[in-house]
Amino acid sequence: MSDLAAAVRPYLAAALAGDRDAQDKVWRAIEPFVTRVVRRRLLGAREQDVEDFVQELAIKLVVGPEPQCRHWNSTRPLAPWLGQVVANACIDEMRRRAADVSAKLVSLDADGAPTPPARQVSPEAVAMGHELARILDDMTADLPEAQAAVLESLRSGATRNEAAHEASCDVRTVSRAKASISERLQHSGYEVPGEDTSASAAGS
């Protein structure tokens, strides 16, 4: 079983040296994970906005003149580090968009008609999302590396099979970690929707 870091390590040095083929291999390895994080974290974004921002992140992370992947410690799991980098980028993007909206409350097209507004997210929902992200960040910091990798994959929207692949563990381990995370979130006052996360469900 190959995890996210293992898929990147063989090509990282060449990618950072500017090898286009290696850059393409690194980006193809991490793009699904990055896209999932952006879909979860870029609140209120349309699908086209998500796709455009993911392409911007390809430049920032891998193919640009100062790729952020050079700051990853390749002896450690990739998912926790990458998830945090992408989440921070999403926060910066949401702040930029909020500033744009404040500066131009009513946008008119060439005919003088208002342009369709972006899908709005309530301040309460944004605040709750940030608080939940803070709780999960604290969890990640307290976990062993392998469990932190599982948590970051689950945060990105991965299925149990995807999380197991990215964290290089089996599905039963992911299910146990997911159940533990759900229990801790419920203790923090958050209802956790979704499938049964008990370890016994993994065998079904």
pLDDT at 184: 72
pLDDT at 23: 96
Those residues of the chain that have pLDDT short of 50 are 1-2, 105-111, 121, 192-204
Exposure string (b/e) for 19-55, b if CB count within 10 Å is 16 or more?
Answer: eeebbebbbebbbbbbbbbbbbbbbebeeebbeebbe
pLDDT at 136: 66
pLDDT at 195: 43
pLDDT at 26: 96
Global pTM reads 0.59
pLDDT at 142: 66
Q: How far apart are the first and last CA of the chain?
A: 20
CA distance 27 to 130: 27
pLDDT at 170: 78
